Chain A
Amino acid sequence: MSNSNTDSAQDLFRSAQDALLGVFRWGTERSSEAAAQGVADRILKSQEQAIQMMSAMSGLWAEMAKAQVAGPEGVRAYMEKFQREVPLMGSALPSADALQKAAEMWRESGKRFVEAMMPMSQSFGLGSAIGEGMPDGFREMFGGFAKSPGFGLTREYQAKLGQAFDAWLEYQERDVEYRKLLSKAWTDSFAAVMQAMADRATKGEAPKTPREMMQLWIDVADDTFIALFRTDAFSRTQSGLMNAMMKLRKTRRKIMEDALIASDLPTRSQLDEAHRMIYQLRKELKAVKRELKEIKRVRAVKRDLPVSEPTTTSVPSDEARGAHHGG
């Protein structure tokens, strides 16, 4: 039973992680140009993960229920054992083995969490990020491509490639910085959860149910992450990643548009320009309609006026034309 306790707790955490990560992936990948099938799969996966999480929790509770047949003493023994074997349940002094298991679980979760934060990049079609191992020397060796002047017939194309490569390198660097920050938050949150468990156990207030345990984990982890989110370093790093991502997207577009033009296909820039013209024309049309309406109104007023009244207003004032529309 002891193994099944630990396994169930780990299942529960994994399912919770899956659900959490699934939401991150869903929230970010949905904006990509993923195929409909991919989106459908994600929907099913999200539902499945939610059910899995609840199912895992249900399993954990069910195991506890089995202890009931042994009577009150059996239940008490079970709970003691449970708290000993599943360190996140709040043992003040968890065993070394249990602590190691918890730390492994947490490390794995952290790795998966940080990986899951990255599909934002995939959603923008930037491909998967490389790991933390990208050496600084890599940039020193290959960076600065955009600054190298090209030559020959393809010099313009080379320049675009160089810019894209530099943008990609910058993006990778920002990506690594962002991951490092999140990894640290994950580690810190583990320590904070353990500390909270120990504090509560000392006071005799250790979580008594998986639900309480989960809620404590959520609250403490949130607080730790929010503390990080409040720092200037995080704002700077997150903005840096986002800005690098956008820059890469733009430079990549330039190269893709060359390929599209070569294939006789319209480009995003051309469509944007067409939309801009439609927008401007629509705005001008509205302004003309307003002006026409005002002219008609003034004419109607004039028709109703006595002959002796002055009728010099042939052009409506700026105010009457709705100058604030600017179109």
Chain B
Amino acid sequence: MADEPMTPIREAADLQGKMLAGVQHLRKLNEDDVQFGPTPKEAVFRNDHVVLYRYLPKTEKRLKTPLLIVYALVNRPYMVDLQEDRSLVRALLDEGIDVYLIDWGYPGPAERWLTLDDYVNDYVDSCVEYLRDHYQVPKINVLGICQGGALSLCYTALHQDKVKNLTTMVVPVDYAVEATQTTGLLNAWTQGLDVDEMVDALGNVPGDLMNFGYLMLRPFQLNLGKYLGLTDVFDDEMKLINFLRMEKWIFDSPDQAGEAFRQFIKDFYQQNKLIKGEVVLGDEKVNLQNITGPVLNIYAEQDHLVPPASSVALKRYVGTSDYTVKSFKTGHIGMYVSGKVQRDLPVTIAGWLRERE
């Protein structure tokens, strides 16, 4: 207790030192110092503005079946290869998996009319076709992340003959799960939205508008507390760069192709059609019962964006008998940046795939 009055004084001295060092670091840094995607990769296939990347393998002995990562449309996919020590891609390569990633690019006015059918049955399918042809295999492995997982579920339900093993990670499946204290706000907020009016008025939906919604999920922590925490790392150049890198990813948000956004909000969020088997892509209904191959469903126990209950619901709707569920005690973003998850997640995925190779 005698030490208590000294606490703020020590903090003051610490902060002063950190401030001075931090300002010096900030002065030296520029945008180019905030690099991401350190793992070497090459573009192997293009379809319109969509690019398929191949990460250069790191081991000789590898699984025969390549893994295609299908990321969400709402953020940039380099989150899976953020930096040297936080790279799901790198860890999967270390496990002997050939990793491919679809980069959706930044939809512009010409992409305003793209539908979910285009994303699933053209873009994803053309990448799968490229890999089947390149590897001369009938089926490939798919890892769908977040919204990309929802697209992957649709793709697998329509093309199970081309998917050997499906892994879903932090994927919303049931969009009507009951909200809890920490999750489910997005579901609630979209219910009354007139998405037709929105897309008609905006065309493509601005990424910044989406970000505004995400920031409102915890307005004080995400807009203020986070920057208060910056004082802790201000004097450490590497940590400061890591912080800035995450900031870059958070706000580097592509606009959403209008028609695809319209369908996603209406069919998935507002009408929960995915689990009802009522989503229609092209002229086919998406029936999750048609997913009969192995499924590994991974979710984050403290996910504030995708309620865990929404993810675990998948088991009730897929037709497979080979279903595995695995959770990690972290949040949505923690899946990519938590040291423990980064250590355990790739091993989990690789082990599961290896057993089914």
Contacts and interface: CB of A to CB of B under 8 A. Distances in A.
Interface of A: 16, 19-20, 23-24, 27-28, 30-31, 50-51, 53-55, 57-58, 60-62, 64-65, 67-68, 72, 75-76, 78-79, 120, 123, 208-211, 214-215, 217-219, 221-222, 225-226, 229-230, 235-236, 238-240, 242-243, 246-247, 249-250, 253, 268, 271-272, 275-276, 278-280, 282-283, 286, 322-326
Nearest to A68: B9
18 contacts: A19-B223, A20-B219, A20-B220, A55-B19, A58-B15, A61-B9, A61-B11, A67-B9, A120-B209, A209-B11, A210-B8, A218-B224, A219-B221, A219-B225, A225-B220, A239-B194, A322-B121, A326-B121
A210 B219 CA distance: 20
A271 B193 CA distance: 26
Nearest to B114: A279
Nearest to A242: B193
Contacts of A268: 203
Interface string B211-254: 11001111111011101101100100000000000000001000
B220 A243 contact: no
B216 A236 contact: no
Contacts of B284: 324
B121 A325 contact: yes
Nearest to B2: A72
Contacts of B6: 68, 75
B113 A275 contact: yes
Contact of B197 (A55, A79, A246): A246
Contacts of A75: 5-6, 9
Given A19-B224, A282-B48, A325-B121, A222 B8 contact: no
Contact of A64 (B9, B209, B221): B9
Given A214-B228, A222-B218, A230-B188, A20 B223 contact: yes
Given A58-B12, A246-B200, A226 B192 contact: no
A57 B11 CA distance: 10
B23 interface: yes
B219 A247 contact: no
B230 A225 contact: no
A249 to B, nearest CB: 4
Given A54-B231, A246-B200, A208 B188 contact: no
A327 to B, nearest CB: 8
Contacts of A279: 110-114
Given A247-B201, A275-B109, A325-B122, A235 B12 contact: no
A229 B193 contact: no
Contact of B19 (A31, A58, A226, A272): A58
Contacts of B114: 279
A13 B202 CA distance: 36
A238 B224 CA distance: 22
B113 A240 contact: no
Nearest to B200: A250
B63 interface: no
B321 interface: no
A206 to B, nearest CB: 10
A226 B181 CA distance: 8
Given A31-B209, A208-B8, A279-B110, A324 B215 contact: no
B122 to A, nearest CB: 6
Interface in B96-116: 109-114
A100 to B, nearest CB: 24
Contacts of A30: 208
B219 A222 contact: yes
